[in-house]
């Protein structure tokens, strides 16, 4: 059941990136997509064991901590990508006075002709 929710979250993020015309909504879709991938890796990493990966006496079947450590890095990279994207959106808005991708493409096409 959890896997279906993760796939639904991934598809929601992909639809936000592909189907929306507003650049801010595309950045939000990218963030949702990144979150879905992080949750997927943490979920798949948690299936392997039953107990927390703490090195104490009596832990028999620990969960693999490597996917969780890698996803911490992915979260930081995702935040950096989102901040860079929002900075670029701000620059685009200051230049074109709109966030609609179709209007921006039309301005660029008219400029190139």
How far is 71 from 26, CA to CA, in rounded Å? 22
CATH assignment of 2-112, among 1.10.287.3510, 1.10.10.10, 1.10.645.10, 3.60.130.10: 1.10.287.3510
Counting Cβ atoms within 10 Å, is residue 105 exposed (0-12), middle (13-18) or buried (19+)? exposed
The series of mean pLDDT values per 10 residues for the chain, 113 residues long, is 95 96 96 96 84 77 84 95 96 96 94 88
- Phi/psi at 59 (5° precision): -80, 115
pTM of the model: 0.86
């Amino acid at each position: 059941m959890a896997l279906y929710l993760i796939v639904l979250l991934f598809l929601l993020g992909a639809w936000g990136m592909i189907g929306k015309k507003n650049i801010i909504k595309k950045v939000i879709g990218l963030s949702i997509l990144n979150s879905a991938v992080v949750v997927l890796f943490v979920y798949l990493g948690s299936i392997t064991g039953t107990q927390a990966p703490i090195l104490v006496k009596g832990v028999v079947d620990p969960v693999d901590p490597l996917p969780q450590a890698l996803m911490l890095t992915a979260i930081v990279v995702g935040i950096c990508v989102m901040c860079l994207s929002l900075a670029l959106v701000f620059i685009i808005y200051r230049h074109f006075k709109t966030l609609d991708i179709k209007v921006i493409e039309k301005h660029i096409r008219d400029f190139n002709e």
